[in-house]
């Protein structure tokens, strides 16, 4: 059964007919210069000029898997480049088949594919895509993974467990990825698992802008656990609000017990900042703890709305005013119907990062 086939017409750039002019041959050697004199034989490397639009650059292409094609298409609209034409099918047993329908020889390629549910299926699809691009002689392959699956398994917190986040990094590199672009990794140290350049973006600029526009009264930013304090502190500085922390103890996978609230939230509007909302168990318990401590109202935001299992029902039944998430992961139909959940797009942020990487300019300005 065919999962998705996309048709996009793209032109191919012919190789340059001329060769760079050789310099320095059959030329008399310059006399030795005195100390402090400037060298005249070395010419500065010209800065790469930015095209008026990436659609004019025939050495750039954007592709997408099936995990979040709407996000890839929106990124394409932001940078003026259509998503490339591919053929993705699955055999009866679920085995993925992938074929490029465009020439990518010598092209700087970006592949958008979050490893969201079903995680293993989308991960394998991404690996097959990378391998096909490598064998088609792409000049550089950059994987754009808005949501990095297995990121929560980043250390040995118990005996005889796998460090799966490192394993996935090795798989992507071995498949042929030359560079990686992520959004809000669960642990920033995961960047060190890669032996290729990694760009780590944060969804905070998009989320901060939204909550600034709400002008919430007497706002206080809340970290749902000690591990998220740095993320919450950054957010609090941007919105000019104080910080509170919820002391949380995790008793099992997807099971957490809220202990107490550190900070004065009495009569205040609380904004919970997190990176991933999975089953929403921690979120709902945090909301209850804040209201029990006298909070006037509670909002929440997160970069990745995994929302698996009973998450939708828990959020709907909670006293949470609003949950704001980004579109790194496509929402399930039930989540789209829930008025408490609002989705903000990070396509513009990712598009700007992709453009900067391709043009070899700094992406640090996007951190603000």
User: What is the DSSP code string of 178-199?
Assistant: -EEEEES-SSGGGGGG-SS-EE
The total of other beta-carbon atoms located within 10 Å of residue 367's CB is 11
For residues 218 and 265, is the Cβ–Cβ distance under 8 A?
Answer: no
For residues 133 and 107, is the Cβ–Cβ distance under 8 A?
Answer: no
For the chain, list the strands marked E by DSSP: 2-6, 60-64, 86-90, 96-100, 108-112, 140-145, 179-183, 198-201, 219-223, 243-252, 255-262, 269-277, 297-305, 322-326, 341-344
For residues 188 and 200, is the Cβ–Cβ distance under 8 A?
Answer: yes
User: What whole-number distance in Å separates Cα of residue 162 and Cα of residue 107?
Assistant: 36
Residues in the chain: 368
Residue 74 DSSP symbol: H
> And the tokens for 139?
């000049």
User: What whole-number distance in Å separates Cα of residue 165 and Cα of residue 151?
Assistant: 5
For residues 7 and 96, is the Cβ–Cβ distance under 8 A?
Answer: no
User: What is the DSSP code string of 230-295?
Assistant: HHHHHHHHHHT--EEEEEEEEEETTEEEEEEEES--TT-EEEEEEEEESSSHHHHHHHHHHHHTT-
- CA angle in degrees (0–180, nearest 5) for 282-286-292: 150
Alpha-carbon distance values, 238 to 67, 220, 259 (Å)? 32, 12, 28
Q: Which of 248, 268, 337, 340 is catalytic?
A: 248
Nearest Cα neighbor of 345 from 329, 326, 367 is 326
Spatial CB neighbours of 311, under 8 Å, sequence gap ≥ 6: 277, 278, 279, 280, 335
Q: Indicate if 285 belongs to the active site.
A: no
The catalytic residue positions are 248
């Amino acid at each position: 059964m065919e999962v998705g086939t996309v048709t996009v017409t793209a032109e191919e750039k012919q190789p340059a007919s001329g060769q760079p002019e050789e310099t320095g041959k059959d030329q008399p050697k310059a006399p030795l210069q005195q100390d402090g004199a400037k060298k005249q034989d070395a010419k500065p490397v010209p800065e790469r000029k930015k095209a008026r639009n990436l659609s004019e650059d025939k050495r750039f292409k954007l592709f997408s898997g099936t995990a979040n094609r709407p996000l890839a298409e929106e990124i394409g609209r932001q940078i003026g480049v259509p998503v490339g034409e591919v053929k993705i099918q699955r055999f009866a047993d679920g085995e993925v088949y992938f074929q490029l329908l465009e020439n990518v020889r010598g092209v700087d390629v970006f592949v958008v594919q979050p490893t969201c549910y079903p995680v293993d299926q989308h991960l394998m699809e991404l690996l097959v895509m990378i391998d096909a691009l490598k064998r088609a002689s792409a000049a550089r392959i950059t994987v754009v993974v808005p949501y990095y699956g297995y990121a929560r398994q980043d250390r040995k917190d118990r005996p005889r467990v796998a460090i799966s986040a490192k394993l996935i990094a090795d798989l992507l590199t071995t498949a042929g990825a030359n560079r990686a672009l992520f959004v809000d990794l669960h642990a920033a140290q995961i960047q060190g698992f890669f032996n290729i350049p990694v760009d780590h973006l944060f969804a905070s600029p998009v989320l901060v802008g939204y909550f600034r526009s709400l002008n919430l009264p007497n706002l206080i930013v809340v970290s749902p656990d000690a591990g998220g304090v740095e993320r919450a502190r950054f957010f609090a500085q941007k919105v000019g609000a104080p910080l509170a922390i919820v002391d949380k103890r995790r008793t099992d996978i997807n099971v957490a017990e809220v202990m107490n609230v550190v900070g004065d939230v009495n009569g205040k509007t609380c904004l919970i900042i997190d990176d991933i909302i999975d089953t929403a168990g921690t979120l709902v318990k945090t909301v209850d703890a804040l209201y029990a401590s006298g909070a006037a109202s509670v909002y929440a935001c997160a970069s990745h709305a995994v929302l698996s299992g009973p998450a939708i029902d828990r959020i709907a039944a909670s006293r949470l005013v609003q949950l704001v998430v980004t579109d790194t992961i496509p929402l399930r139909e039930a989540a789209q119907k829930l008025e408490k959940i609002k989705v903000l797009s990070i396509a513009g942020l990712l598009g700007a990062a992709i453009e900067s990487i391709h043009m070899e300019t700094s992406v640090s300005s996007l951190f603000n």
